[in-house]
Amino acid sequence: MTKPLRLVFLGSDAIARPLLDWLVSEVGCAQVEVVGVFTQPDRPVGRGQKITANQIKTWALARGLPLFQPEKITDEIREQMAALTPDLSLVMAYGHILRDAFIATPRLGTLNLHTSLLPRYRGASPIQTAIASGERETGVTLMRIVRELDAGPLADVEHVRIESLDTALDVEAKLAAACVPLVARALPRLAASALNFTAQDHASATFCRRLEKGDGALDFAAPAAELAARINGLFPWPTCGCELNGQPVKIGLADVAPLQDAAISSSPAQQSVNVDPGSVMGVDAQGLLVATGAGVLRLRRLQRAGGRMLPAAEFLRGFPLPSGTQIASMAMPALCGPSPFPRR
């Protein structure tokens, strides 16, 4: 019987929990032995900024695993890694830049799980940006880690469908689950020296950046499909929003409503409505209808300041918006580009 690979996991985000649970399951234990976990130091969380352990730390402590929370990856930290005599390191959403010596410490090197179909959406917000960009598919890519941003050679990928009403929260859950079959396929091949790597097409790479609160702005002159994708992609954070009757309102879900014959432009190719972008057109059974530069945007979930995110019908019972109400537009910052975004 082949001896399980000694694996060190490096990560700081709850998206890795399904994979970690599989690694210590009966099936996973036949392939690997988790010998250590590296995660970020405890950070302030929420409005109260209470110092809180992340879910990866909690998971490791519950299983009595060696846990490391370095502020920086130093030579001393590399020595602590080497003392675990790992065969493999697996990284997912860790949050530290790794030096070459640290990457090379495990006998079989260091692999990374990135939540996009590389080379598209390298960078800090691949899930949100893929949805906000209107993609209908994304995935998890297993790659060999290198010092350049998400540029290492690729081993395998697990594809995930993005449905029209999927938010980033929904797609993140799908991607978390997709890590399990991806890693389960790769580990036996890696142990048998049969896991092949292919260089990325760097000329096709696109890059996304760390999201900011201001990214939730909406320009209703944009097409309805673009606006719906952005709203869904940026939920639950930073969450798109607008000002309604002088009050800030967050939008949690949207889609494109069927065009009503009376409102369609004389040019079918333009598919625009005969009112100004940002004008409230009324409601239907699913949501609030808003005119855009092309098509009708349907806002399905809304939230007032200090309130809960509600289905549009429930929200509008306490916050009526007559047809003709004008919603102001704001410029929408670019989320993706052909080169890395400068650090802010």
Start-end ranges of CATH 3.40.50.170 in the chain? 5-207
Contact assessment for residue 208 and residue 143, using Cβ atoms and an 8 Å cutoff: no
Q: Residue 245's pLDDT band (boundaries 50, 70, 90)?
A: confident
- What distance lies between CA 192 and its chain's CA centroid? 32
How many CB atoms within 10 Å of residue 271? 18
Task: Share the mean pLDDT of the chain.
Answer: 93
Q: What residues have CB less than 8 Å from 336, skipping those under 6 apart? A: 121, 129, 133, 206, 207, 208
Share in percent of the chain as helix, strand, coil (round to 5): 25, 30, 45
Residue appearing with tokens 């002159």: 221
Q: Residue 266's pLDDT band (boundaries 50, 70, 90)?
A: very low
The pLDDT of residue 268 is: 39
| Arithmetic mean of pLDDT, 17-34 | 97
For the cut 50, the answer to whether the pLDDT of residue 264 exceeds it is no
The pLDDT of residue 263 is: 45
Q: Is 134 in a helix, a strand, or coil?
A: coil
Start-end ranges of CATH 3.10.25.10 in the chain? 213-317
- What distance lies between CA 334 and its chain's CA centroid? 16
The pLDDT of residue 273 is: 62
Lowest mean pLDDT among 43-57, 193-207, 208-222, 314-328: 43-57
Q: Residue 2's pLDDT band (boundaries 50, 70, 90)?
A: confident
Q: Residue 46's pLDDT band (boundaries 50, 70, 90)?
A: confident
CATH topology of domain 213-317: Methionyl-tRNA Fmet Formyltransferase; Chain A, domain 2 (3.10.25)
pLDDT in tens, 123-136: 999 999 999 999 99
CATH topology of domain 5-207: Rossmann fold (3.40.50)
Question: Phi and psi at residue 203, in whole multiples of 5°?
Answer: -65, -20
Q: How many Å apart are CA 52 and CA 69, to the nearest integer?
A: 13
pLDDT in tens, 178-214: 999 999 999 999 999 999 999 999 999 999 999 999 9
| Arithmetic mean of pLDDT, 55-81 | 96
Q: Of the candidates 131, 193, 192, 186, which has an alpha carbon nearest to the alpha carbon of residue 164?
A: 131
CA-based R_g, the chain, Å: 23
Lowest mean pLDDT among 83-92, 210-219, 271-280, 330-339: 271-280
- What distance lies between CA 89 and its chain's CA centroid? 22
Residue 313's alpha-carbon distances to 209, 283, 289, 290, 308, in angstroms, are: 35, 8, 12, 14, 13
Q: Which residues pair with 271 in a beta bridge?
A: none
For the cut 50, the answer to whether the pLDDT of residue 270 exceeds it is no
Q: Is 314 in a helix, a strand, or coil?
A: helix
| Arithmetic mean of pLDDT, 54-65 | 97
| Arithmetic mean of pLDDT, 150-155 | 97
The pLDDT of residue 1 is: 52
Contact assessment for residue 129 and residue 208, using Cβ atoms and an 8 Å cutoff: yes
Tell me the percentage of the chain whose pLDDT exceeds 70: 95
For the cut 90, the answer to whether the pLDDT of residue 47 exceeds it is no
The pLDDT of residue 147 is: 87
| Arithmetic mean of pLDDT, 21-35 | 96
| Arithmetic mean of pLDDT, 57-68 | 97
Q: Residue 302's pLDDT band (boundaries 50, 70, 90)?
A: very high
For the cut 90, the answer to whether the pLDDT of residue 151 exceeds it is yes
Dump strand ranges (E) for the chain: 5-11, 32-38, 43-45, 50-52, 67-68, 88-92, 110-114, 122-123, 137-144, 154-161, 207-208, 240-244, 247-257, 280-283, 288-291, 296-304, 310-311, 336-337
DSSP line for 84-104? T--SEEEEES--SPPPHHHHT
